[in-house]
Amino acid sequence: MAFDVGDLVVYRKHKFTSHPGPRAKHIAPAPHGDSYSYLVDKFWIVTELSENQKEMVLMTRTGKKHRVSVDDPNVRHANWWERLFLRHRFPKLPAAAQSDAASN
């Protein structure tokens, strides 16, 4: 599954807290009941690809960047209904990255 700059992706992040939020999925209690383990979908955009196409930089809505392997099983392309109905959760591609993507 190939990724390009500007692709909208969903990253499934594993979290541990005492109070899972409303978007938490696959909630499981800790062995002693002190906290919970769960997954949350994060809606990010691809801003850069490494030279060898093995890693990519994903950007959050707040502008944070995460370097992730292209083979990471927690990242996938956003499907059509996520792009349509959840478009407000995805960040906008920065202008510099848009010009780089257009030149490729």
In a domain, 34, yes or no: no
In a domain, 87, yes or no: yes
| Domain total in the chain | 1
In a domain, 26, yes or no: no
- Residue 55 lies in domain: 8-12+42-103
Dist. CA 59–CA 65, nearest whole Å: 5
Q: What is the pTM of this model?
A: 0.82
pLDDT 10s digits, 10-50: 999 999 999 999 999 999 998 888 899 999 999 999 999 99
Q: Return the exposure string of 46-70: e unless at least 16 CB atoms fall within 10 Å of the residue's CB, then b.
A: bbebeeeeeebbbbeeeeeeeebeb
pLDDT 10s digits, 41-86: 999 999 999 988 899 999 999 999 999 999 999 999 999 999 999 9
